[in-house]
Chain A
Amino acid sequence: MKILVCISQVPDTTTKIAFTDGNTKFAEAGVQWIVNPYDEWYALVRALEIQEKGGSTVTLLNVGPAANDAVIRKALAIGGDDAVRIDADPKESYFVAAQIAAYAKSESFDLVLFGKETINYNGAEVPGMVAELLDAPFISQASKLEVEGSGIVCERPTEAGVEVVSSSTPVVVSAQKGMSEARIPNMRGIMAARTKPLKVVAAVAVDTLTEVTSFSLPDAKSAVKLISPDNMDELVRLLHEEAKVI
């Protein structure tokens, strides 16, 4: 199976979130960048597990500027045969999806894997867009993926229960918790990652559909109201009369 794993670069989960330029840009100074956890822990590791059974190739793909190469190498240290970086500012979901779809189409991948969403934009938008642009089936937010013959079988938790869904290939899958366990890169992986091929591809032109006009921080929470441990009736009263949630 020819597998493409799409990875995003995101700020580390403990990053303090702030904005500059009149709240139009994320403050990047001093930020530690990582591979989006859903992409790394679930999509990439599951692709590697499939590869370890034999007969598959794993290519990593990122849409971003040259500064992203360090994070791409971090992902390559966990595994994968090679990587591709589409050289562009990932300005919006549709732009990123169109880049990925153009590359995936030219290389005829059987399985295109994503994490379920990025931890910075939380949109879960790109995988579905790529599927539509490829005219391919899409299994979103899958918690399990097995190769069966020339197709795949996934589990997908929904509000009604866990769906067991099969699909032909080529197929797009976004992955969430349950699909695999995170791996820590070893020294051999880190050394090997330095020399794995990282191809840079020019971006295709895409119309702009959305623009971020500004960012803001959530309204400051008022200070916590402390209730005496001996007066739980008071807590219940406040939940009913003040918070009005029961």
Chain B
Amino acid sequence: MSVLIFTEAVNGKIKKSSLEAVTYGSKVAAALGTQAVALNLNPGGADLSELGKYGASKVIVGKNASLASFDSQVYTAAIAEVAASVGATVVVTVNDSLGKAVAPRLSARLKAGLVAGATTLPNTAIGFNVTKNVFSGKAKAHYNIVSAVKVISLMPNAVQPEANGSAASVEEVNLNIGVSAKTVIKEVKRASTDKIALPEAELVVSAGRGMKGPENWGIVEDLANVVGAATACSRPVADIGWRPHHEHVGQTGVAIRPNLYIAIGISGAIQHLAGVNQSKTIVVINKDPEAPFFKAADYGVVGDAFEIVPRLTEAFKKYKAGH
């Protein structure tokens, strides 16, 4: 028996979300009285022994030439092969773009119940009960996974990585896989590296129609630069072309859960809130004291954004200089 945690490394570094998943998986293993085994299929030079610090008893590196490039079918077959060899009763992945492509496949392949976007450790006192957000964050559902094998796709930023242990042994295992990729990644168009990717950003500065026009975004970008935040926008602003579509956060755009979300001149329509209501702290700046967003905010400033935002930028500059 074991808990298997699928991890990813990028540019020679283990992803933070994978450290979260190993921390989570080792706690699940402890609750079940078994060991946590971490798996990586494309380490790219990352030091995987470090995963031991986050609770993995052992790290397996799956080797096969077909793993150099991502294909959901191939990766699923590889993870399932390792899961069988270590007798995994629980498989943990991260609910990011790779996890969303792999975890459902793994669930169907192993006939293992899946909770995608889990936010809590399983409650084993009432079965194997895991919570996730539903209705775009407006409610939570508590699921019992009743199958013998279980798959949990962990929501990024739901748990914090905890490094208490010591380095683990890393074992390379040749995999058969047995399927060949039917997809080919022809190219990856990288986002410009000086910008922070929105779904991964821990700090986000976002603005809406209250900015009156695209020419006024300078003060928003100044604030984002000083805070070290990614920039985002509301749907109307993306639809009228003031800002690029990839910045649109909300129900039909990107759903984010940063530590800090600063909303400037956004009224807070229910569809917008659905994409940001998992943020840890929300600051709303709006001239309309009746804006619905204030009900969802932790901190509010009522007033003219064109005066307040530059003042806030100055205040952040002062803070940064002192810390």
Q: Please report A residues at the B interface, Cβ cutoff 8 Å.
A: 11, 13-14, 17, 19, 37-38, 41, 93-94, 97, 119-133, 135-141, 153, 155-168, 171, 177-178, 207-218, 221-222, 224-230, 232-233, 235-240, 243, 245-246
Contacts and interface: CB of A to CB of B under 8 A. Distances in A.
Contact of A157 (B97, B103, B184): B97
A164 B185 contact: yes
B71 interface: yes
Contacts of B318: 233, 236
Contacts of A17: 135, 138-139
Residue from B129, B138, B251 having most chain A Cβ neighbours under 10 A: B138
Nearest to B102: A128
A13 B294 contact: no
Interface in B268-310: 270-271, 274, 277, 280-281, 283-284, 294-304, 307-308
Interface stretch (B81-89, B140-148, B158-166): B140-148
Interface string B122-165: 00001101001111111111111111000000000000000000
A129 B111 CA distance: 10
Interface of B: 10, 71-73, 76, 96-98, 100-109, 111-117, 126-127, 129, 132-147, 179, 181-191, 197, 199-200, 203, 227, 245-246, 248, 251-253, 255, 259-260, 270-271, 274, 277, 280-281, 283-284, 294-304, 307-308, 311-312, 314-316, 318-319, 323
Contact of B111 (A209, A222, A240): A209
A171 B252 CA distance: 24
A215 B135 CA distance: 11
Contact of B274 (A13, A121, A127, A238): A13
Contacts of A167: 182-184
B300 A225 contact: yes
Contacts of B182: 136-137, 167-168, 171
Given A128-B100, A212-B141, 15 more contacts: A13-B274, A41-B252, A97-B108, A136-B182, A139-B183, A159-B96, A164-B187, A165-B185, A177-B253, A217-B138, A226-B299, A228-B301, A232-B312, A235-B283, A240-B323
Nearest to A140: B101
A217 to B, nearest CB: 6
Contact of B183 (A120, A135, A165, A238): A165
